[in-house]
Amino acid sequence: MPDRSFRRALPALALGALLAACATPTEVRESPTLPTTPDQPPAGPAKVAPPAGRPAPPALREPPPGPAVVTPLPQPPALTAGRIARYIPSRAKDRDGWAKDIAVAFHDLGIAATEENICSVVAITDQESLFVADPPVPGLSKIVWKEIETRRSRYGVPRLVLDGALATRSPDGRSYRKRIDALRTEREMNRLYQDMIGELPFGPLLLADRNPVRTGGPMQVSIAFAERHARSHGYPYRVEDSIRNEVFTRRGGMYFGIAILMDYPAPYDDPVFRFADFNAGRYASRNAAFQQALARVSGASLVPDGDLLRYRGGQPDTNPSQTRLAIGRIIDRLGLSARQVDAELRLEKSARFADTELYRRLYRLAEAARGKALPRAAIPRIRLKSPKITRKLTTEWFAKRVRWRFDNCRKRA
C-alpha cells in the first residue's frame, strides 16, 4: 500500500501531470542535436578574436549533461555599450542597461559590435518583447485553464482530484488556483512549476523534466539551447540558481538569444535569412533553397520547410522524409550511393552540408536544367502554431517583420 505522504501528494501530482501537458510550443523551432565535426565557416557575422586565455569551444560532439561552466570575463569597454545604446528604441526603459548586456554578450561570444550585428539583435528583441525583460503573454491564464480542462477530460482525472490540487497552498502563500488566475508572464509560469517540483514528494523525480515553459526572456530563447550552450561554452555571469532561471533575466535572455542568433557561420548575403533561421532553426533558409532546387530536378512536390530529415526525440527518424524520397528519384543521376546520401543529409544542421557532394551535385543538375544560377537561400515556408498565437502567422511574416525593424534601427544611427 502506498505510504501516507505519497497518497497526500496524489492531487498535486495530478495537477503537475496536467500542467506538464500544457507546454506552450515555441515559435522558434530548435534544431535537433546531432554529433558534429568542426566546420569551415563560410561568410557570417563579423567576429573578433576571443579574449586572451579563453578556452576554445569543444570541436567535436555535444558534452554530456553537467553543471554549467561559469566563465566571468572583464567587462567590455564602456564605449561599446554607449554606442549600442544609440540603436535601442527610445521607448525602452534603461537603454544603458540593455546596451551593457548586449555588449557583454558580444564580448564573451567574440562577435564584433558592427552596425549590422547590433541592429540584428535590436530587431529580434524588439519583435519578440518590445524591449521588456519579462514580456507578458496576453491571456496566459486562460490558455493554461483551457489546456488543463482539455487534459483533465482526456485522461479522465476526476474533477474532485483536480479541485483538491488547485486548493493546495503554494510556497508563496497563495493556492495554485489563485496563482494560475494571476499568471501574466512565462517567468511566473516557470516559478509556479518550479515550486511544484521543489515542494511535492517525488516532484524532482516525476516532474523535473516536464516543465511546460520551453522558451523565455526578451528574445524568447529556447531554455534547452541555453542549458546546452552554457555547458559547452560557459556563461559570463555568476549563476544564482540555474541556467533555466537565468534565461528569464534580462542579461541571460539577451546573452543566450544573441548566441543562438549570431554565434554560427551563416552563408547569407541578406540578414532576412538569419532572421528566418532564428525562427525556424539554424540553416533552415539554406536548406529550404536546397529543397526548392531538388523539387525542380526531381519533379517531386516538396514544401521547403528547411528540415531535410524527419526527427524523433532530437534524432533522425528511420522513416524517410519527403526530401529523402525525392533524392531517391534522382540518385542515379547524382552518382551517389544511398549510404553516402544518408550520411551527408545528417549534416543538414551544420555549415558542412554546403560542402558535401550531395549539395554540390544537386545544384549542378538544377542549374544545368534551368540554365542559370539558383539562389542558395530561401525563407522556409512554415506556419507558426502556438496557444499564444491567435492569427495566421508564418516564418516569412516573422522574418520580414524583423527585417523592417532592422532597417529602422539602421536609420536611427
Three-state SS at 94: coil
Does the residue 342 lie in any domain? yes
pLDDT band for 50, please (50, 70, 90 cuts).
very low
Q: Which residue(s) pair with 155 in the sheet?
A: none
Question: 119 with 178, same domain?
Answer: no
Question: 131 with 144, same domain?
Answer: no
Question: 168 with 240, same domain?
Answer: no
Tell me how far apart the alpha carbons of residues 77 and 79 are, in angstroms, rounded to a whole number: 5
Question: 143 with 245, same domain?
Answer: no
Tell me how far apart the alpha carbons of residues 253 and 247 are, in angstroms, rounded to a whole number: 4
Question: 193 with 243, same domain?
Answer: no
Question: 291 with 351, same domain?
Answer: yes
pLDDT reported for residue 61: 37
Among 49-58, 175-184, 274-283, 376-385, name the most confident range: 274-283
Question: 385 with 348, same domain?
Answer: yes
Q: What percent of the chain has pLDDT over 90?
A: 54
Contacts of 157 (CB under 8 A, 6+ apart): 14, 17, 18, 151
**Which DSSP helix (H) or strand (E) runs through 277?**
helix 271-280
Amino acid at position 339, single letter: R
Q: Which range of residues forms the domain containing residue 13?
A: 4-27+136-213
242-283 pLDDT, tens digit each:
999 999 999 999 999 999 999 999 889 999 999 999 999 999
Question: 222 with 164, same domain?
Answer: no
pLDDT band for 208, please (50, 70, 90 cuts).
low
DSSP alpha helix (H) spans, 281-316: 284-298
pLDDT band for 396, please (50, 70, 90 cuts).
very high
Question: 339 with 366, same domain?
Answer: yes
Q: Of the candidates 177, 198, 213, which is a domain's last residue?
A: 213
Q: Which residue(s) pair with 394 in the sheet?
A: 383
Helix axes 115-129 and 250-262, enclosed angle (nearest 10): 120
pLDDT reported for residue 35: 40
pLDDT band for 37, please (50, 70, 90 cuts).
very low
Helix axes 4-20 and 159-166, enclosed angle (nearest 10): 100
Does the residue 33 lie in any domain? no
Q: Of the candidates 232, 262, 292, which is a domain's last residue?
A: 262
Residue that the C-alpha cell 533561421 belongs to: 277
Tell me how far apart the alpha carbons of residues 274 and 399 are, in angstroms, rounded to a whole number: 8
pLDDT reported for residue 19: 59
Does the residue 73 lie in any domain? no
Count of structural domains, the chain: 3
Does the residue 167 lie in any domain? yes
Over range 192-213, report the average pLDDT: 63
Among 59-73, 331-345, 382-396, name the most confident range: 331-345
pLDDT reported for residue 41: 40
Buried b / exposed e along 67-86 (16+ C-beta atoms within 10 A): ebeeeeeeebeeebbebbbe
Does the residue 149 lie in any domain? yes
Question: 386 with 303, same domain?
Answer: yes
- Rg of the chain in Å (alpha carbons): 23
CB 270 within 8 A of CB 377: yes
Q: Of the candidates 229, 244, 262, which is a domain's last residue?
A: 262
Does the residue 60 lie in any domain? no
Over range 339-344, report the average pLDDT: 97
pLDDT band for 197, please (50, 70, 90 cuts).
confident
pLDDT band for 40, please (50, 70, 90 cuts).
very low
Question: 296 with 390, same domain?
Answer: yes
Does the residue 229 lie in any domain? yes
Per the document, the length of the chain is 413
**Which DSSP helix (H) or strand (E) runs through 394?**
strand 393-394
Tell me how far apart the alpha carbons of residues 271 and 254 are, in angstroms, rounded to a whole number: 19
pLDDT reported for residue 218: 95
Does the residue 67 lie in any domain? no
307-329 pLDDT, tens digit each:
999 988 778 888 999 999 999 99
Question: 91 with 239, same domain?
Answer: yes
Residue 292 has pLDDT above 80, yes or no: yes
> How do beta strands 383-384 and 393-394 pair?
antiparallel
pLDDT reported for residue 142: 84
DSSP state, residue 354: G
CB 366 within 8 A of CB 374: yes
216-238 pLDDT, tens digit each:
899 999 999 999 999 999 999 99
